[in-house]
A and B are shown apart, each in its own frame.
Chain A
Protein backbone atom coordinates (compact mmCIF):
# COMPACT_ATOMS: atom_id res chain seq x y z
CA UNK A 1 0.00 0.00 0.00
CA UNK A 2 1.65 3.20 -1.20
CA UNK A 3 1.32 5.90 1.41
CA UNK A 4 2.94 8.55 -0.78
CA UNK A 5 1.95 8.69 -4.43
CA UNK A 6 3.34 10.65 -7.32
CA UNK A 7 0.96 9.77 -10.11
CA UNK A 8 2.87 11.43 -12.93
CA UNK A 9 6.01 9.47 -13.80
CA UNK A 10 7.19 12.25 -16.07
CA UNK A 11 6.60 15.89 -16.92
CA UNK A 12 7.94 18.03 -19.73
CA UNK A 13 8.01 21.82 -19.48
CA UNK A 14 9.46 24.62 -21.58
CA UNK A 15 12.24 26.72 -20.15
CA UNK A 16 10.90 29.80 -18.39
CA UNK A 17 7.47 28.31 -17.72
CA UNK A 18 6.12 26.94 -14.47
CA UNK A 19 6.66 23.31 -13.47
CA UNK A 20 4.10 21.82 -11.12
CA UNK A 21 4.83 18.46 -9.53
CA UNK A 22 2.11 16.78 -7.52
CA UNK A 23 2.08 14.38 -4.61
CA UNK A 24 -0.73 12.70 -2.68
CA UNK A 25 -0.54 10.91 0.65
CA UNK A 26 -2.88 8.63 2.52
CA UNK A 27 -1.53 8.56 6.07
CA UNK A 28 -3.16 11.30 8.14
CA UNK A 29 -0.36 10.99 10.73
CA UNK A 30 2.13 12.55 8.31
CA UNK A 31 2.98 16.06 9.45
CA UNK A 32 6.21 16.89 7.67
CA UNK A 33 6.75 16.82 3.94
CA UNK A 34 9.86 17.17 1.84
CA UNK A 35 10.92 17.31 -1.79
CA UNK A 36 14.18 15.84 -2.99
CA UNK A 37 15.82 16.20 -6.36
CA UNK A 38 17.92 13.48 -7.93
CA UNK A 39 20.30 13.65 -10.85
CA UNK A 40 21.51 10.43 -12.52
CA UNK A 41 24.37 8.71 -10.70
CA UNK A 42 23.93 10.95 -7.65
CA UNK A 43 22.10 10.64 -4.36
CA UNK A 44 18.87 12.53 -3.72
CA UNK A 45 19.44 16.08 -2.50
CA UNK A 46 17.09 17.92 -0.20
CA UNK A 47 15.21 20.73 -1.92
CA UNK A 48 12.46 22.14 0.28
CA UNK A 49 10.16 21.08 3.10
CA UNK A 50 6.92 22.06 4.77
CA UNK A 51 5.39 21.38 8.14
CA UNK A 52 1.70 20.59 8.46
CA UNK A 53 1.15 23.80 10.40
CA UNK A 54 1.80 25.74 7.21
CA UNK A 55 0.16 25.67 3.82
CA UNK A 56 2.97 27.26 1.83
CA UNK A 57 6.74 27.47 1.96
CA UNK A 58 8.87 29.37 -0.50
CA UNK A 59 12.57 29.24 -1.25
CA UNK A 60 13.67 31.20 -4.29
CA UNK A 61 12.19 29.65 -7.40
CA UNK A 62 10.72 26.75 -5.43
CA UNK A 63 7.41 26.83 -3.58
CA UNK A 64 5.68 23.94 -1.88
CA UNK A 65 1.95 24.06 -1.23
CA UNK A 66 0.19 21.78 1.24
CA UNK A 67 -3.54 21.02 1.24
CA UNK A 68 -4.12 18.93 4.35
CA UNK A 69 -7.81 18.34 3.77
CA UNK A 70 -7.07 16.89 0.34
CA UNK A 71 -3.89 15.18 1.54
CA UNK A 72 -2.10 16.75 -1.38
CA UNK A 73 1.04 18.75 -1.87
CA UNK A 74 2.65 20.29 -4.88
CA UNK A 75 6.01 21.72 -5.82
CA UNK A 76 6.08 24.75 -8.08
CA UNK A 77 9.23 25.77 -9.91
CA UNK A 78 9.16 29.21 -11.49
CA UNK A 79 10.79 29.91 -13.85
CA UNK A 80 11.90 26.43 -14.88
CA UNK A 81 15.48 26.07 -16.08
CA UNK A 82 17.19 23.26 -18.02
CA UNK A 83 19.29 22.51 -14.91
CA UNK A 84 16.07 21.62 -13.10
CA UNK A 85 15.77 18.50 -15.24
CA UNK A 86 15.95 15.66 -12.73
CA UNK A 87 13.78 13.18 -10.86
CA UNK A 88 11.83 14.76 -8.01
CA UNK A 89 10.79 12.70 -5.02
CA UNK A 90 8.10 13.64 -2.56
CA UNK A 91 8.57 12.32 0.99
CA UNK A 92 6.63 12.41 4.23
CA UNK A 93 7.13 11.59 7.88
CA UNK A 94 5.08 11.50 11.05
CA UNK A 95 5.85 13.09 14.40
CA UNK A 96 8.72 11.49 16.21
CA UNK A 97 11.21 11.51 13.36
CA UNK A 98 9.81 8.39 11.80
CA UNK A 99 11.67 7.33 8.66
CA UNK A 100 10.74 9.21 5.53
CA UNK A 101 8.30 7.50 3.18
CA UNK A 102 9.00 8.33 -0.45
CA UNK A 103 6.94 8.41 -3.60
CA UNK A 104 8.21 6.81 -6.80
CA UNK A 105 9.33 10.10 -8.25
CA UNK A 106 8.49 12.32 -11.21
CA UNK A 107 11.03 12.86 -13.97
CA UNK A 108 11.01 16.53 -14.97
CA UNK A 109 12.44 17.55 -18.32
CA UNK A 110 12.87 21.25 -18.94
CA UNK A 111 13.23 21.93 -22.64
CA UNK A 112 15.23 24.91 -23.83
Chain B
Protein backbone atom coordinates (compact mmCIF):
# COMPACT_ATOMS: atom_id res chain seq x y z
CA UNK B 1 0.00 0.00 0.00
CA UNK B 2 1.63 3.24 -1.21
CA UNK B 3 -0.55 5.47 0.95
CA UNK B 4 -1.97 7.27 -2.10
CA UNK B 5 -5.73 6.78 -2.42
CA UNK B 6 -7.66 7.20 -5.65
CA UNK B 7 -11.40 7.07 -6.25
CA UNK B 8 -13.25 5.76 -8.11
CA UNK B 9 -11.36 2.64 -9.15
CA UNK B 10 -13.54 2.12 -12.22
CA UNK B 11 -15.81 4.45 -14.11
CA UNK B 12 -17.86 3.99 -17.26
CA UNK B 13 -19.40 7.04 -18.86
CA UNK B 14 -20.73 8.23 -22.19
CA UNK B 15 -19.08 10.52 -24.71
CA UNK B 16 -19.66 14.19 -24.00
CA UNK B 17 -19.97 13.68 -20.28
CA UNK B 18 -17.80 15.05 -17.47
CA UNK B 19 -16.15 13.10 -14.65
CA UNK B 20 -14.07 13.93 -11.60
CA UNK B 21 -11.28 11.72 -10.33
CA UNK B 22 -10.14 12.15 -6.76
CA UNK B 23 -6.78 11.62 -5.11
CA UNK B 24 -5.56 11.75 -1.51
CA UNK B 25 -1.77 11.92 -1.28
CA UNK B 26 0.43 10.20 1.27
CA UNK B 27 0.46 11.82 4.66
CA UNK B 28 2.91 14.72 4.65
CA UNK B 29 3.30 14.87 0.86
CA UNK B 30 2.76 18.30 -0.64
CA UNK B 31 3.16 17.42 -4.32
CA UNK B 32 0.51 15.65 -6.35
CA UNK B 33 0.99 14.45 -9.91
CA UNK B 34 -1.49 13.14 -12.45
CA UNK B 35 -0.46 10.67 -15.15
CA UNK B 36 -2.42 9.02 -17.94
CA UNK B 37 -1.73 5.52 -19.25
CA UNK B 38 -3.46 4.63 -22.49
CA UNK B 39 -3.25 1.29 -24.30
CA UNK B 40 0.32 0.60 -25.43
CA UNK B 41 1.46 3.93 -24.04
CA UNK B 42 3.74 4.70 -21.19
CA UNK B 43 2.83 6.97 -18.36
CA UNK B 44 2.11 10.40 -19.78
CA UNK B 45 2.54 13.27 -17.35
CA UNK B 46 -0.49 15.55 -17.18
CA UNK B 47 -0.02 18.03 -14.37
CA UNK B 48 1.65 18.63 -11.00
CA UNK B 49 0.47 20.60 -7.99
CA UNK B 50 2.54 21.64 -5.03
CA UNK B 51 0.81 22.81 -1.86
CA UNK B 52 -2.21 24.03 -3.77
CA UNK B 53 -0.37 25.72 -6.62
CA UNK B 54 0.14 24.42 -10.14
CA UNK B 55 3.84 23.55 -10.46
CA UNK B 56 4.22 21.93 -13.88
CA UNK B 57 2.06 21.11 -16.84
CA UNK B 58 2.53 18.29 -19.30
CA UNK B 59 0.38 16.88 -22.08
CA UNK B 60 -2.91 17.87 -20.54
CA UNK B 61 -5.79 18.64 -22.87
CA UNK B 62 -7.73 21.87 -22.48
CA UNK B 63 -10.82 19.78 -21.73
CA UNK B 64 -9.04 18.54 -18.63
CA UNK B 65 -8.36 20.52 -15.49
CA UNK B 66 -7.13 19.82 -12.01
CA UNK B 67 -6.83 21.44 -8.64
CA UNK B 68 -5.34 20.77 -5.24
CA UNK B 69 -7.31 21.75 -2.19
CA UNK B 70 -6.11 23.13 1.17
CA UNK B 71 -6.27 19.64 2.69
CA UNK B 72 -3.89 18.62 -0.16
CA UNK B 73 -6.25 16.23 -1.88
CA UNK B 74 -6.52 16.72 -5.62
CA UNK B 75 -9.17 16.33 -8.26
CA UNK B 76 -8.79 15.81 -11.99
CA UNK B 77 -11.77 16.97 -14.01
CA UNK B 78 -12.28 15.52 -17.47
CA UNK B 79 -14.99 17.10 -19.61
CA UNK B 80 -16.53 16.66 -23.08
CA UNK B 81 -15.24 13.12 -22.92
CA UNK B 82 -14.23 11.32 -26.09
CA UNK B 83 -13.65 7.64 -26.75
CA UNK B 84 -9.90 8.29 -26.84
CA UNK B 85 -9.96 9.51 -23.25
CA UNK B 86 -10.46 5.94 -22.10
CA UNK B 87 -7.37 5.19 -20.03
CA UNK B 88 -5.94 4.54 -16.61
CA UNK B 89 -5.42 7.75 -14.69
CA UNK B 90 -2.84 7.62 -11.96
CA UNK B 91 -2.25 10.01 -9.15
CA UNK B 92 1.12 10.11 -7.42
CA UNK B 93 2.56 12.11 -4.57
CA UNK B 94 5.92 13.08 -3.19
CA UNK B 95 7.21 15.00 -0.24
CA UNK B 96 10.25 16.04 1.74
CA UNK B 97 11.00 12.47 2.75
CA UNK B 98 10.84 11.01 -0.74
CA UNK B 99 12.99 13.38 -2.77
CA UNK B 100 12.63 12.68 -6.48
CA UNK B 101 10.73 9.45 -5.88
CA UNK B 102 6.99 9.60 -6.39
CA UNK B 103 4.47 7.09 -5.07
CA UNK B 104 1.49 6.03 -7.11
CA UNK B 105 -2.06 5.21 -6.25
CA UNK B 106 -3.79 2.21 -7.79
CA UNK B 107 -5.34 4.28 -10.54
CA UNK B 108 -8.79 5.11 -11.82
CA UNK B 109 -9.84 3.15 -14.87
CA UNK B 110 -12.02 5.34 -17.12
CA UNK B 111 -13.98 3.82 -19.96
CA UNK B 112 -15.81 6.17 -22.32
CA UNK B 113 -18.52 4.51 -24.40
Contact = CB atoms under 8 A, between A and B. Distances in A.
B79 to A, nearest CB: 23
Interface residues of A, number: 24
Contacts of B48: 99
A97 B104 contact: no
A20 interface: no
A46 B101 contact: yes
Interface string A34-64: 1010000111111001000000000000000
Contact of A100 (B4, B40, B45): B45
Given A93-B100, A97-B94, A104 B40 contact: yes
Interface of A: 4, 6, 32, 34, 36, 41-46, 49, 89, 91, 93, 97-105
Interface of B: 2, 4, 6, 31, 33, 35, 40-45, 48, 56, 58, 90, 92, 94, 99-107
